[in-house]
Each structure stands twice: as C-alpha cells, then as structure tokens.
Structure 1
Amino acid sequence: MKIFTTDQIKKIDRATVENEGITSLQLIERVAESVAAEVVSLLSAQSRIAIFAGPGNNGADALATARILYQQGLQPEVFLFNIGGDKLNAECRICRDLLLEAAPDAIFTEVIKQFNRPHLSPNHIVIDGLFGTGLREALSGGFRELVKYIDDSRAFVISIDIPSGLFGDWNPNAIHRNMMHADLTLAVQFPHLSFFMAENDEVVGRWKVMDIGLSSSEIRKTTAPFYLVERNDVRRLLRQRPDFCSKDDFGSALLVAGSYGMMGAAVLAARGALRAGVGKVTVYSPRCGYEILQSSTPEAMFVASNSDIHISSIRLPHSYSTVGIGPGIGTADATVDALEQFLTGRNEPVIIDADALNCIAKRQSLLHRLPPQSVLTPHAGEFDRIFGQQPNSEARLVKAIEMARYHNVLIVLKGRYTTIVRPDGRLYFNSSGNPAMATPGSGDVLTGVITALMAQGYRPEVAALCGVYIHGVAGDLAAETQGQYGVTAGDIAANIGRAFKLTLNV
C-alpha cells in the first residue's frame, strides 16, 4: 500500500473531484458513513456520543457523521468550534446547515466565544473532528485544554483521519500531551506516515483505513515515498519453484556466526536460512561450536575458524552466493579485526547483524568498508550505538535515511513496523509481526532468512522486504499457538516454511 505525504493526498483528493465527477461533499458523505458505521458497531446500552467538530474539512466530516447518526435515531451531542463566528470553510458551513435541517432538535452548540465543557464519562464515545492534516502548528490555548479534558475523561475516542494535534508526516517537536489520544483512528483512504512512529502509538491508538473511492488512476500514477508492505506485495515478488530443479539452483549461503556461549545464535540463523529455501547453508564458527551445530542442525555444513572460542579470522574455503555475518560472534578485538579484514576490498553485498553491528560501533571506520547495497539489520539500540543516540523513532528514521544514502546501504530498522530504508530514501514499513517476537534470537532467524533469499538471487532490497514480512508472518503463526508470552525464536524459525506457504497461496 502506498503511503503518501499529506500534500500528495490533497492533490489526489482534488484530482478525484476535478476528473471523476464527484463533489467534495460526496467524499465527505462517504467518510461520514464509514465513521457512523464504526460508531454504531461500538454502541452499548450505556453509550453516549459527543462530537467535536473544527472549522475545516475534518469538522465537516464530523458534522456529516452527526447527521447520519441522528437519522438513525441516535442523539449525539455536537459541538462546532467557529471561534469569532467566521472561521468555517464552505464544506463545513454546508454540513452544519444540512445537520440542522435534518435534525432541527439536535443537541447542537456552535462555539463562537464561550465554551462550557460537557460532562464526559467512560461511557461516552467521542468523535474527534477538530483538526485534520491541514493543521500547521501545535494545539494551544483552549483547544489544548479541551484535548486534555477529553483525554482525562477516559471516554472512547474515535479520531477522523488523524488525532487532532498530530501532523500527518513528520512531527519533529511533538508534545504528545497537547494532542488528542485516540483509541481508534479512522484514516481516510491512506494511513499517514506518523502512524508508524513508536512514540505516536499512544496518540493514534488502533487504526483502520476507510476506503472512500479516491481516484485509482491518480493513486497509480502518483509516486509514493513510503509504503506499507502487505501480503500481495510479497507474493508478487516471490518466485514459485520450477518442477525441474536441484539444490544447486537455490544458492549457497554462508553464515559467520557464533562464539563460546553464543552458539545458539548460529543455530537459529542456520535454521532460518534453511527454512527460507536456500540450496546450501554453511556456518563459519569457532571450533567450540562444531558439535552443537552438527547435532542441532544436521542440514547445515560447518567450517571451523582457527580459534576455539571466538572468530579471529574469516577465510572462506569456497565461494558463496551470499554471506550473512554477526549473530553471536561477540566483539572481541580479534573479531573486530577479522571483520575489518573480511570487508576490506569486498564488493558483493553482505548482511550485517547483531554483534557485527556492535563491532562497527566499536570501530566506526568499518562503516566505510561496507560493500554497496549491503543490508544492515539493527534494532534501535544497535542503530544508536553506531550512528549516535536518537531521541525517538522519528529522529532515528530520519538519521537512517541519511546514513543509508551516504553509505549506499539498506538499513532494516527493526521494531513494531520494521522499516526497510533504501539508499534512495524510500521507506517500506512491514505490516506483519506482533509483540511476542520481542524475544532473544528472533533477529538471528531474520538474518538467516534474508541471507537465504539473497543467496537465491533476490536483489538486496527484495530479500530484505520479503524476509522481514515472512519473518513477521512466522511470528504471527507462532503466537497463534504459543500466545504473546510463550513464543521463542525457535518457534519463529520453525514457522518460516509455513509463512512462505501462507504468503504464496492464492
């Protein structure tokens, strides 16, 4: 799914009105019908409804929703904020008049000067239509106090398109206490970039997309800077295996992984790679890992480094389609030296994860030795150790865009919406996965999957995108049986094959 900037969405909206014979009021009506249906689905015998409408299109959506609810026999209390008496845009004025015409006995207050706050309780459903993406500055004064009052009431808040006070794109100086905290955000046609930032989760709540039928041709021809990766995207990218094939057709992957006390990381990475369909997996580890690897993962081959407890050199006995390096290797000085020697002069992309990232943090000059199009897979802590402490996920993402471009690498920034950052600045947010995957070794499995896909000939950005999605689906499958607390990395690895099957099945 494309994720557009707020300016792009406005252009698509305008093109729909200009080219497809649809009026802006008809689009507002579609939004209102969807919001009203959601409200009705949440009603209980004790529910009361309060609607807060601002002076723009977001307010028009809220007023149209109020009219539909009245027509269905409900009695929402409506507050329209028209401070000074001359702030309403044309659509908002029309929607106000239509509401009062359809429901002359409506509980309606147009706030021009003084506002007396209504009593709100946890039984209330509040519809937030104060401000949408047209907002250009943080909420202040009376609106800030109103938002705080609504939040403190513990009412169930439904925000139309976006919570009031949150910007659709970037929020570099966000003060979340000055924003509406929605329990449910109903995005109009597209999710907004700000929905995917961890710090905005408390503001956005759960979100859904309302399809109001904006111009499909305009959507197709508009290039988006951001994407939400979904099943159909991955299914189109993955190849079906031919009937006539052998393991030699699916590449050979080398995993440089493991050290004394951390051989489990090597085992998990190998299992992830094997389940991702690579033709051959070799694990390069210290000699201490031989029996562990061979007994736990007999399908993988083992090559011993010249050290008993950690990797002190990386000498490849054969050529491999792709190399993934980092799970469990530690950060001993000898290992950092070995990584530097391995990267020096190398031109083929590699996958860099876990302790290999920590080695780079320890010796920053290694960043400049990364082969073009290499894939780095840090979580937030690993990223900050390399590129500097970041105050929040948005700042981290901005930094990742800068660093991916500067070093010509892909950065897979792991989190709730694991994000693939390309060197050209495009962002791909992953839609699969769940909190149960926050477990030791989960990232090692992902390294194995991405390495396996690259070994099979997928381009680095495709391998990263598909690998992250498949890994998330495997986590979802594991959580179905093990629950949010019981999932282990081994469960995720065991479900990689099922995740491919589920994704590829039409």
Structure 2
Amino acid sequence: MNNIITATQIKETDRHTIETEPIASIDLMERASLAFVTIFMQLYPDKNTRILVCCGTGNNGGDGLAIARLLQERSYDAIAVWIARFSSHESNDFSTNLARLHNTPIPITEFLPADELPGIPQEVIIDALLGSGLNKPLDGDWLRLTQHINQAKKQTVAVDVPTGLRADGVIPEGEHTLHAHDVISFQRPKLSFFFPESATAMDRFHVVDIGLDEAFIENMPCDFKLVEAEDIQRIYRKRKPFSHKGTYGHALIIAGNRSTMGAALLCSGASLYSGAGLTTACIPPEGLIALNARYPEVMYCAWDDLADQWAKFDAVGIGPGLGNARDKSPNMLPDILRYGSKPLVLDADALTFLTKRKTLVKKLPNQSILTPHMKEFDRLFGAHGNWWDRVQTARKKAAEHQLIIILKNQYTFIVLPDGDVSINPTGNPAMASGGMGDVLTGMLVAFLAQGYTPAEAAVLACYLHGAAGNQLAEENGMAVVPAGRLIEAIPSTIGALW
C-alpha cells in the first residue's frame, strides 16, 4: 500500500530528493512539468487545440510556465499564458522559467490586482495558479479570477491540485474552488481527492511519477494508505490441489424478510461466488423457494435451529434486508452474541439494531466488521458536518472498540483498530444501485470464512467489489451495474489479477 502523505510531507520529500539525489530544484520542476505534459498530450492529442495556461508566481506557477514551453516545443502552437501578479512574492524557479518562456513566441499577459479580466477564447485552460500550499479560503482577486475561469465553462486541467482545494484536512462546505475536469497530481494523489467534498473541485485525477524518493515517502509516518492491485495479489491465496469445500470455510448469512428477500439472496450469492466452501442462509421460510431457485448451492438454517448449529459456522454476516418484520428481529443480535464469538460482519439493519442499543457495540467480538454508509455511521456515532471529521471519529471508535469500520464512499475508507485508514480506489458511479452493500457483506463473510484476517478480508472484499463493477462498466459499456450482475463477475475479476 502506498502512503498518502500531507502537503507538508510532500514539501519535505521535495527537499529530501533535491538534497540526496542530488538535483537542482529547477530541474525537478522541469521533470514534473514533463510528466504533466505526457499525460496532457494523451488527454488532448490535437495540437491545434487553443490552450490558456494560468499561472501564479509561486512554484505552481513555475510549473505552468515550464508546461507552456514544453507544449510549444511539441508543436502545440496555440498557447497563451496569463500571470496573476496578486502577490509580491515570486519564487526563484518561477523567475527562471519566466526568463526561459520569454525566449519563445508564446504571448504572456500579466494581471495586477483589480485589473479587468478579458474573455477566454481558448478551448482548454491549464490551472497553475496556487497548487497545494493553500490553507485558507480564496478571496479578493484570487476568488475573482477563479470565478472568471469557471464561468468560461472550458475544459480545465489542474497542475497538482485545483486552485482553492486544500490538499488535506477539513474541506469546508461551500468553499469556492476552481473546477477542473482533470487533475494531474505529482507522485501521489492528494488526500482530499478521496473525500466527497472534492467533487465540486474536480471530476477525475491522474498521478504521475516525478522521481521523488519513494523509500523516503514510505518511511514517513502516515495514517492513510492507498490499496493497490499488488496488495490484492499478495493477500489473495490461490486454491491448491487436493483442497475441498471444507478447506474454504462455512459462511452464515442472517438476512432478509418477507418484503426484502432479495437482499438475502444477493448476500448469499456473493458469498458463494467469492469462494466460501459452504454458505448457509438463515432467512424466513417464505424465502426458501426463491433461494432454491436462485442459488441451490446455498443451504438453509431456520432461526430456531441456529443455536444448535452455531459451532459449524466459520464466519457470520447479519443485517441485509433483515428489517423488523420477524418477531425475533430485535433480539437477533443479542442472541448471536451469546452463542459464541465468531468473525462477524454487521450491515444494514444490524447497524440499525446497534443504533437502538448502543451498549451492544462494546460486546461485539474484537475485529468485528461494520459496513455503514454515511447516514448509518452518523446515526451510530453522531452527526458530522464533513467527511474529514467523520473519518476521524471512525478512527477513534475503531480503536476504542477494536473494530474494523468500512465507511462506504466513492473511495471507501477501511478504518482499522490501530487507527490506520486504507483507501479503496476501485468502483465507479455506475455501481450506485440497490443491493451493492448486500453484495459487499456477502463477500466479506466469504473471505472471513476462508480464514483471512478481518483486515485482509476488508481490503480484499472492497477492492474486488469495486474492480468487478469497473470490469462490467468498462467492458460492457454499462451505465448502471446491477448488483446481481456484479456477483457473477467476481470470479473473473479475481482471475484477472493474474
């Protein structure tokens, strides 16, 4: 997993790389700008595209000046540069690149505070105004300029960070930012990219290697890590010859009621397709015909028989579609906690039960996995005004109760008992459809049953769940990915890792 470091740590890494490579700061800027240009040319291959590069006078602006020159050297001839001189500060590397740019035919327009801003005829804008050092809201001429650029409604590509977006920490609601269609970030994505509030500032991001010292980055103290495909390849255990169904554990799914039996079927099917050797569903009797028709491989256990059969299960998931329809629903969670400690996943209505009886949180087995979406999390742990505070609360509660909290999001946060947060990068908006959480719960229980640690199961399930959705959306051009189709894509998604 890659460390996702703060803006301060990125500056420390820049300094370390300059001192130890060694490399002059202007040459590191050139290397970063060339990496940016490589991706930009893939996004906009038409060299007749009219491009406006908007620069501040710090190092982000220096990057912009170098980018303009490098694009012109690659036959992008319709380039213009704006320089916002709204500060008396000018970095040394900005000055050097400005001198270099004067040796090109690129027209340069400089703006002082309160100067009138002309219209923008170019098709593409490159934002190199402020970068990652911002720690306060935009105001004055900076606010006026970003509003002017946004109102032009042109394709915009930000250098490292969109102007106005903080690289880490709280993103205040309603804070004004420039809106970038693409962000090309240096060496690492910024932590803020993974928080929902960043949606007003950017549509998507790309990360380019600029040759910073990776060993130095990975040795930095860091609470947030990004899951990669290599992590899944390392964690996942391929099936071996002479193994059998008993090798891969017995998963129990407690789910469903008369009106939401589909949730139980999706959860059970996901367990089956994720490799549990055996899967048993504890569902209302009314669902037996549907279960047998859809997944005849899944066995059935009546609620009244659960205590007697409890010992044979290796992992348990409870909650999807459970509702309050069953007479025993309010007592289900307390009852199973009395049956004996098992690796446990709580989702949906099981989380609702916890909200009504919060003292039960302290009685959950260590390393139990909770899978709340935002509203479920806030009902359980209190209202939050932003996602940064929500994640900090998740870290506190995971440590306090020795839980794993999977806080579901476009980029899901997997919060571990030691306070570390693994960020899952897979998934897409096409997966925003009913039943996806039920599928994730089934996958989690299946991996627990197979003997993975709860942390491993959480990382595997979240990554493969999103990767299966990506596979369907990309290969089949699906605007919406149904949960049932995703289940069937799980085995091929696992196979594609190799």
TM surpasses 0.5: yes
> Deviation string for 1:120-167 (max 9, x for gaps)?
14x431111111111221111010011001000012111100001111
CA gap 1:346/1:138 in 2 versus in 1, 3 angstroms = farther
Which of 316, 320, 335 is 2:313 aligned to? 320
Matches within 5 A, 1:322-401: 322-331=315-324, 334-344=328-338, 346-401=340-395
Question: Quick one: distance in 2 between partners of 1:322 and 1:250?
Answer: 11
Which of 424, 441, 457 is 1:447 aligned to? 441
Q: Which amino acid aligns with 1:322?
A: A
Instruction: State the Cα distance separating 1:366 from its structure 2 match.
Output: 2.2
- 1:331, 1:359 within 8 Å by CA — same for their partners in 2? no
Question: Quick one: distance in 2 between partners of 1:447 and 1:496?
Answer: 14
Q: Which amino acid aligns with 1:36?
A: V
Instruction: State the Cα distance separating 1:428 from its structure 2 match.
Output: 1.5
Which of 216, 231, 234 is 2:232 aligned to? 234
Aligned-partner SS, 1:329 = coil
Structure 2 residue aligned with 1:119: 119
- 2:165, 2:171 within 8 Å by CA — same for their partners in 1? no
Structure 1 residue aligned with 2:130: 131
> Deviation string for 1:356-405 (max 9, x for gaps)?
11221232222222221110111222222222333343333233222222
Aligned-partner SS, 1:120 = coil
Aligned: 1:36 with 2:29: no
Instruction: State the Cα distance separating 1:481 from its structure 2 match.
Output: 5.9
Farther-moved stretch of structure 1 (378-387 vs 128-137): 378-387
Structure 2 residue aligned with 1:271: 269
- 2:314, 2:343 within 8 Å by CA — same for their partners in 1? no
Aligned-partner SS, 2:133 = coil
Question: Quick one: distance in 1 between partners of 2:106 and 2:476?
Answer: 50
Question: Quick one: distance in 2 between partners of 1:65 and 1:4?
Answer: 25
Stretches of structure 1 that go unaligned for 5 or more consecutive residues are 308-312
Identity score, percent: 36
Structure 2 residue aligned with 1:24: 25
Matches within 5 A, 1:128-207: 128-176=127-175, 178-207=176-205
Which of 70, 73, 79 is 2:72 aligned to? 70
Question: Quick one: distance in 2 between partners of 1:358 and 1:408?
Answer: 20
Which of 208, 211, 214 is 1:210 aligned to? 208
Question: Quick one: distance in 2 between partners of 1:77 and 1:480?
Answer: 36
Question: Quick one: distance in 2 between partners of 1:241 and 1:234?
Answer: 15
Aligned-partner SS, 1:444 = helix
- 1:50, 1:77 within 8 Å by CA — same for their partners in 2? yes
CA gap 1:59/1:283 in 2 versus in 1, 3 angstroms = same
Instruction: State the Cα distance separating 1:485 from its structure 2 match.
Output: 4.2
Structure 1 residue aligned with 2:244: 246
CA gap 1:38/1:501 in 2 versus in 1, 3 angstroms = closer
Instruction: State the Cα distance separating 1:36 from its structure 2 match.
Output: 3.1
- 1:314, 1:338 within 8 Å by CA — same for their partners in 2? no
> Deviation string for 1:280-316 (max 9, x for gaps)?
1111223323333233211111111139xxxxx8664
Structure 2 residue aligned with 1:93: 95
TM-score, with length taken from structure 1: 0.92
**What is the number of residues matched between the two proteins?**
494
- 1:287, 1:305 within 8 Å by CA — same for their partners in 2? no
Question: Quick one: distance in 1 between partners of 2:86 and 2:210?
Answer: 30
Matches within 5 A, 1:250-265: 250-265=248-263
Aligned-partner SS, 2:414 = strand
> Deviation string for 1:170-195 (max 9, x for gaps)?
1342434x211111101011001100
Farther-moved stretch of structure 1 (390-399 vs 364-373): 390-399
> Deviation string for 1:73-121 (max 9, x for gaps)?
524222223335x410221122212222x22x54213334553313114
Q: Which amino acid aligns with 1:56?
A: G
Stretches of structure 2 that go unaligned for 5 or more consecutive residues are none
CA gap 1:391/1:346 in 2 versus in 1, 3 angstroms = farther
Farther-moved stretch of structure 1 (436-445 vs 162-171): 436-445
Aligned-partner SS, 2:241 = coil
Structure 2 residue aligned with 1:14: 15
- 2:173, 2:197 within 8 Å by CA — same for their partners in 1? no
Q: Which amino acid aligns with 2:311?
A: H
CA gap 1:56/1:315 in 2 versus in 1, 3 angstroms = farther
Matches within 5 A, 1:399-418: 399-418=393-412
Question: Quick one: distance in 2 between partners of 1:435 and 1:21?
Answer: 43
Q: Which amino acid aligns with 1:255?
A: I
Aligned-partner SS, 2:304 = coil
Farther-moved stretch of structure 1 (184-193 vs 65-74): 65-74
- 1:348, 1:372 within 8 Å by CA — same for their partners in 2? no
